[in-house]
Amino acid sequence: MIRAAGVEKSFGPRRVLRGVDVEVQDGETLVIIGGSGCGKSTFLKCVIGLLRPDSGLIEADGLDVTKLKDEMRIADYRRRFGYLFQEGALFDSLSIWENVTFGLRYLTDIPASRYRDIAKDKLALVGLKDIEDMKPAQLSGGMKKRVALARAIAAEPKYILYDEPTTGLDPIMSDIISELILELKKKLGVTAIVVTHDMKSAYKIADRIAMLHEGRVLEAAPPSSIKATKNPYVRQFIEGQSEGPIRMKLKDYDEV
Amino acid sequence: MISRPVERLGSNLLGLAESAGEAALLVQSSVAWLFRSRIEWRQTILQMLRIGVGSFPVTVLTSLFTGMVLALQTGASSKRMLSEPLFIGTIVSFSMVKELGPVMAALVVSGRAGAAIAAELGTMCVTEQTDALYTLGTDPVRYLVIPRVLAFLIVLPVLTILADYAGVLGGCLVAYLKLGIPTSVYWHDVFDYLQNKQFFHGLIKTYAFALCIAYICCYKGLKTTGGAEGVGKSTTSAVVYSMVAVLSVDYFVTAILVALGIT
């Protein structure tokens, strides 16, 4: 189980997270929605220990990452997570199979002689084959995302964090990625937090949807309840209306 | 009126102090990782090849011409003052081995390999590849910095020795072809006076230069923010800072070596 309570994070004078409280049960997929810049990715990076919150606690399996000081212990905490980066973050200088199996050397005791076969299996799991020896630059956006997904699951983590998995993809590829996330949940039984503002994907993959606004969780409920919400902020966001209580800047000098 | 420039100066000094502190923490972290984890030898060899093979032709060429110019200038001055070119081999070899070889090699490597490293790490930073390293069970210091530091420490002395040879050989060419000095006389001038400690004087400096270039370029690369523009800025400042560091560290290391009698 992942539990976050009172998580706050500022960058200089900008308060991004202002007390995030959220729980993710084992086997559950929690989708966090919210406008651009509302702190979704920041929260995800706090969960995996890439950013240290200013206050609050974040526990995974009862271990609070905010209390860990030593790099080795934080690295040990991270072992239970797989992370899918927004742009994939594949290593340009390595081939696809080396990318997929990169973490195995550090996270597992699997002998290197098996890496190539494992890469093949994981790539097959995300619907890719015969690309093991290619370089990331030779792949399309959707393929890169799938390779990144294969890399995130290669060490068979207990938790997977997805940072905008469908952003920048065409609608069909977005749906394919959503299907993959569902399939991985079924096959691997992983617990997941997905950050997205793609509502179609959110409804498809979520067990629960949490709406983040101005650094706080406004509402967390199953997709059916979110669809019928009376909260005007959540309503405006899920319906994609420009008019409503959430006012986003059109120009830098607009007053919000 | 005065407060704005003073404020700017103060903020620049604070920024400089902060950068120096962060760079020192990078050095500390790399030493800690060096002792508690396996060295990434594959990455180290890859970096050695990139730094060494890429910088070899430029280093040798610049040193060859430096040696040639040195012989020509010394020969002309010696002819004017003493009516004949004397001790050309000695002057060229001392200058190359103790000073110009190490400095030329370090400047070429910082301009070529240092820039490439800052740009590569900078790009990795802005595309979240360094964050990905953390999520995959390793650390940018362990996987990126240590192999580069080791590669510089291994390759720069080798390049310096080659630069020394190229410079002395360039001097020999000019001495023979332009100044009419027999090669046997030139090489006698070189080996009659050049001792091991002069060679070590130059070699010891290269280790200090290697550490400066490697850490400055890695630090600048890993601190990159702001997309393509940020990568450009990091690369430029990495080259400028490492070249200035090479020249200033050269003075202090030379002063220490002179004080220790290694001269």
pLDDT score, position A243 = 78
Instruction: Note whether B139 contacts A75, CB cutoff 8 Å.
Output: yes
Instruction: Note whether A50 contacts B129, CB cutoff 8 Å.
Output: no
> Same CATH fold, A87-157 and A1-80+160-250?
yes
CA–CA separation, A159 vs B114, rounded Å? Answer: 39
pLDDT for A253 beyond 50? no
Chain B residues within 8 A of A136 when measuring between CB atoms: none
Q: Nearest CA to CA, how far is A5 from chain B (Å)?
A: 22
Q: What are the tens digits of pLDDT across the range B37-91? A: 889 999 999 999 999 998 999 999 999 999 999 999 999 999 888 888 889 999 9
Chain B residues within 8 A of A144 when measuring between CB atoms: none
pLDDT score, position A180 = 87
pLDDT for A30 beyond 70? yes
Instruction: Note whether B129 contacts A90, CB cutoff 8 Å.
Output: yes
Smallest Cβ distance to A87: which of B123, B128, B139? Answer: B128
Decide yes or no: CATH 1.10.10.410 for domain A1-80+160-250: no
In DSSP terms, which residues pair with A59 in a beta bridge?
A3, A64
Q: How many CB pairs under 8 A join A and B?
A: 54
**B147 membership: H or E segment, kind and range:** helix B146-177
pLDDT for A255 beyond 50? no
Mean pLDDT in residue range A122-130: 89
CATH class of A87-157: alpha beta
Number of domains, chain B: 1
pLDDT for A251 beyond 60? no
Residue A169 to residues A123, A161, A166, A177, A198, Cα–Cα distance (Å)? 19, 18, 6, 9, 11
pLDDT score, position A3 = 94
Q: Residue A92: which residues within 8 A CB-CB, separation 6 or more?
A: A135, A136, A137, B123, B129
C-alpha count within 13 angstroms, C-beta hemisphere, residue A239: 16
Q: What are the tens digits of pLDDT across the range B135-166? A: 998 999 999 999 999 999 999 999 999 999 99
Smallest Cβ distance to B136: which of A72, A92, A102? Answer: A102
Q: Which of A256, A221, A196, A201 is nearest to A43 (CA)?
A: A196
pTM of the model: 0.88
> Which of B134, B136, B231 is the best residue to mutate to test the A interface, defined by the most A CB atoms within 10 Å of its own CB?
B136
Q: What are the tens digits of pLDDT across the range B169-228? A: 999 999 999 999 999 999 999 999 888 889 999 999 999 999 999 999 999 999 999 889
Chain A residues within 8 A of B131 when measuring between CB atoms: 45, 50, 85, 89
Smallest Cβ distance to B134: which of A78, A152, A155? Answer: A78
User: Do the domain assignments include residue B26?
Assistant: no
pLDDT for B119 beyond 80? yes
CA–CA separation, B20 vs B32, rounded Å? Answer: 18
Mean pLDDT in residue range B10-26: 90
pLDDT score, position A7 = 95
Number of residues written out for chain A: 256
Closest residue in chain B to residue A75, using alpha carbons only: B137
Instruction: Note whether B135 contacts A82, CB cutoff 8 Å.
Output: yes
User: Do the domain assignments include residue B58?
Assistant: yes
Q: Average model confidence (pLDDT) for chain B?
A: 93
Q: Nearest CA to CA, how far is A45 from chain B (Å)?
A: 9
Q: What are the tens digits of pLDDT across the range A178-236? A: 998 998 888 888 999 999 988 999 999 999 999 999 899 999 999 999 999 889 989 99
Whether the CB-CB separation of A66 and A45 falls below 8 Å is answered with: no
A78-115 burial by CB neighbour count: b if 16+ within 10 A, else e?
Answer: bebbbbbbbbbbbbeeebbbbbbbbbbbbbbeeeeeeb
pLDDT for B1 beyond 70? no
Q: Nearest CA to CA, how far is B143 from chain A (Å)?
A: 11
Q: How far does Cα B259 stand from its chain's mean position?
A: 23
The interface predicted TM-score (ipTM) is: 0.89
Q: Nearest CA to CA, how far is B106 from chain A (Å)?
A: 26
Q: Nearest CA to CA, how far is B173 from chain A (Å)?
A: 43
A195 φ/ψ angles, rounded to the nearest 5 degrees: -100, 125
Q: Which of A68, A90, A88, A91 is nearest to A79 (CA)?
A: A68
Instruction: Note whether A89 contacts B129, CB cutoff 8 Å.
Output: yes
Whether the CB-CB separation of B217 and B118 falls below 8 Å is answered with: yes
Domain ranges in chain A?
1-80+160-250, 87-157
- What is the domain range of residue B109? 40-259
Q: What are the tens digits of pLDDT across the range A151-192? A: 999 998 999 999 999 888 888 888 988 998 998 888 888 999
Chain B residues within 8 A of A83 when measuring between CB atoms: 132, 135
User: Do the domain assignments include residue B88?
Assistant: yes
Chain B residues within 8 A of A87 when measuring between CB atoms: 127-128
Q: What are the tens digits of pLDDT across the range A101-112? A: 999 999 889 999
Q: How confident is the model at residue A256 (pLDDT cuts 50, 70, 90)?
A: very low
Q: Residue B42: which residues within 8 A CB-CB, separation 6 or more?
A: none
Instruction: Note whether B131 contacts A92, CB cutoff 8 Å.
Output: no
User: Do the domain assignments include residue B23?
Assistant: no
Chain B residues within 8 A of A105 when measuring between CB atoms: 137
Spell out which chain A residues touch chain B, with contact meaning CB-CB distance below 8 angstroms.
45, 48-50, 71-72, 75, 78-79, 81-83, 85-87, 89-92, 102-103, 105-107, 151-152, 155
B191-197, long-range: CB < 8 A, 24+ apart: B192/B90, B193/B90, B193/B93, B193/B94, B194/B90, B194/B93, B194/B94, B194/B97, B197/B262, B197/B263
User: Do the domain assignments include residue B127?
Assistant: yes
